[in-house]
Every structure is written in C-alpha cells, then in structure tokens.
Amino acid sequence: MVRLIFKLKNMKTKLISTPYNLSLLAQLGDSKTMQPKISHLIHELYSNLFSHIADGELEMEMVSAKTRIYPQDKRGLWKGKRIKKNQKVVIADVIRAGIQPSHLFYLKLTEILNPKSVRQDHIMSQRIETKNGVEGSSLLGSKIGGNVTGSIVIIPDPMGATGGSIAEVVDFYQKNYGKSKRFVVVNLVITPQYLKRLEKIKAPLSVYAARLDKGLTKTDFIYPGLGGVGEMINNTKK
C-alpha cells in the first residue's frame, strides 16, 4: 500500500508499505539475518523506494524520440514525458547507515540524468548518547561539493528515530550552502516522534518511508524496529 500520511505547507510524507517491502523488512529485522543478506535486502528495499522518488520528486519534460523503427517507418517516433535529464540533484550520505543506500541512489541517478548534474556529499553525523538516551547529534566533519542552490537534496537514511540528525543536516546545508529546491528524506522505518520533529523544519521537505513503527524506547531506539542498521551493515554489532 502506498499512501500520503499528511501534507503540510513545507512537508509531505509518503508511506510505501507494500507487502513486498514489509516482507523484506521482516527479514531485515530478524536476528538470524546476517551479512551479506543484510546488504542484499537494503539494496532491494532502496531500489524499490527509488522508483517512487524518481516519479514523485524529479522534474519531467516532453520529448520526441526516434525509435529503432523510425528508419523503416516515420511513424516510429515516440512522443511523451520522461524525466528531465538536466536537473541538479545532490545525494547526501549520512555516515554510517546511509553509505550504502546513498551510493545506490547516486549510481541510479547518473543513469537517468546528466551525470554532470548529480553530486554525492558525505556527512559525518553521530548520535550523542547518554544514560538518559539520545541527546542530539554531532557533525564531526563532512565532504560537501559546493552550493546546493536550485538542487534537490536527497538524504537516504534507513532509520528515522528522533529526527535530530536529519534536522541538523538540513540546517547545516541551509546555513552554509544556499537554499535548495527541496530536501527529500528516504527512510526504511520511521516513528511518530520523527515526523513531529521534521514538521518543524522550515525548508520544503518530502519524507518517504517503507514502514511507520510504534515509537521510541526509553533510550530513543525504534520499536519494534530493525536494530542498529549502521552496525548491521558494517558488522560492528555487539
């Protein structure tokens, strides 16, 4: 099932809870699932989500294209809409859980857009954890390729828990690299608290997710959740 949860002035949220995506998430959250299966599942889930982002967020253009039939018959001319090739898109890789899905999106976008219009940035964001739970996040360092004015900034980040990291990343871009056309956040699992936090972001924002979970534990981890996706991908889970 694909549905629009809500649409505010600056934010829209689409939940892509198809039976296929939910089945893959169930496997991903199973404690018996290990690498390389973990990475295969994440690749498949984000490949499914990518088509929705491409259809819902990228600009379209009318084209007239000759098919292979055209040399034989002049009616072999296709006219219709396709994704506009020359549009600026920035993929923000929020390390660590975002590394794999971000690079997947980057490669897919370079296939359908002018590669010169697509850029990948790397954001070092770390949750600040105390005995009372997660108390914000810290940007330790980053590799930003330049201004984002007029660009769509896509942030593929598997877990949407408190929303603090995403809010900080958006704020970081806006304060230092210009005003983007909009931000598009792509999660696997999100919480009601996450959405409430993202509602406060002033910039135009779209949120796509495969599953809306019940909420946060006392230490601000998602339940039922999937576990630490960054740790799962990198085999650092204790």
Quick check: is 63 in a domain? Answer: no
Give the β-pairing of 2-7 and 152-156. Answer: unpaired
Would 68 be classed as within a structural domain?
no
CA–CA gap between residue 92 and residue 144 (Å, rounded):
9
Please check whether residue 19 lies inside any domain of the structure. Answer: yes
Query: For residue 213, what is the DSSP state?
Result: -
Q: Is residue 185 part of a domain?
A: yes
Confidence grade of residue 205 (pLDDT, cut at 50, 70, 90): very high
Q: Which residue is it, tokens 């108390």?
A: 135
- List the CATH number of the domain containing 91: 3.40.50.2020
Place of tokens 């954001």: 123
- pLDDT at residue number 95: 86
Q: Tokens for 177, please give them.
A: 């690299």
| Mean pLDDT of the region 220-232 | 88
Per the structure, the complete domain to which residue 226 belongs is given by: 2-58+84-234
User: CA quadruple 62, 66, 67, 70: dihedral positive or negative?
Assistant: positive
**175 in a structural domain:** yes
Mean of the per-residue pLDDT values of the chain: 91
**Per-residue confidence band for 1, with pLDDT thresholds at 50, 70 and 90:** confident
70: in domain: no
Q: How far apart are CA 165 and CA 140, in angstroms?
A: 12
Q: Is residue 69 in a domain?
A: no
How much is the pTM? Answer: 0.90
Per-residue confidence band for 96, with pLDDT thresholds at 50, 70 and 90: confident
Q: Examine the pLDDT at 134 and tell me if it is beyond 60.
A: no
Tell me what percent of the residues of the chain surpass a pLDDT of 70.
92
Domain count, the chain: 1
Least confident of 39-53, 109-123, 141-155: 141-155
pLDDT of 9 reads: 81
Q: 113: alpha, beta or left, given left = phi > 0 and alpha = psi -120 to 50?
A: beta
pLDDT one-digit tens code per residue, 142-154:
789 999 999 999 9
- Split at pLDDT 50, 70, 90, the class of 2 is confident
Q: Is 121 among the domain residues? A: yes
